[in-house]
Amino acid sequence: MQITNPEILFVKEKLIPAVENIEIVSTQNKFYKVIVIYENAAKELPTGLQVMLDKLIQACKFKPEDTLYLSYNPTILSFNSLKKHFQPEIVLLFGNIHLTKNMSPLIKYRAYEINGIKILRAEKLEKLEQMKSEKSELWTALKLMLHLS
């Protein structure tokens, strides 16, 4: 399957689940500083979770327009495809998400750097919203990873 205009997949909060083995073909790639990949049963994030993520992104000194939000489905994402087509500086994973088949699951709240991309995995968004201790762990890990004060 080829997608000739991948930018049409990501219109504001209308999100398409990630699919394995999609070849993205475009003459003009859109680059994002941050890619947020989350587990959520709904196709679109509930407003409260979207607001929470937007605040988090801004607290990390990034702009929402420099951020791509992707809903994760059980198929495994292609890390190389994300890197090639979007060239993120940071990938934030919310939930039990595996980037590739060849990589062990990432430990929550531990910063990784793979091929120049900083990666952090956190709890599912719904749990983060309800558990202050999880939010605190996430913020501490982000501050360390991004050298924020």
Task: Give percent above pLDDT 70 in the chain.
Answer: 76
Report d(CA 61, CA 29) in Å as an integer.
Answer: 23
Q: Long-range CB contacts (< 8 A, 24+ apart) of 53-57?
A: 53/125, 56/138, 56/142
Report d(CA 32, CA 26) in Å as an integer.
Answer: 15
Report d(CA 137, CA 16) in Å as an integer.
Answer: 29
Query: How high is the mean pLDDT of the chain?
Result: 80
pLDDT (tens digit per residue) in 1-54: 444 555 544 444 434 444 333 333 343 457 899 999 998 767 678 899 999 999
pLDDT (tens digit per residue) in 14-23: 344 443 333 3
Report d(CA 127, CA 139) in Å as an integer.
Answer: 14
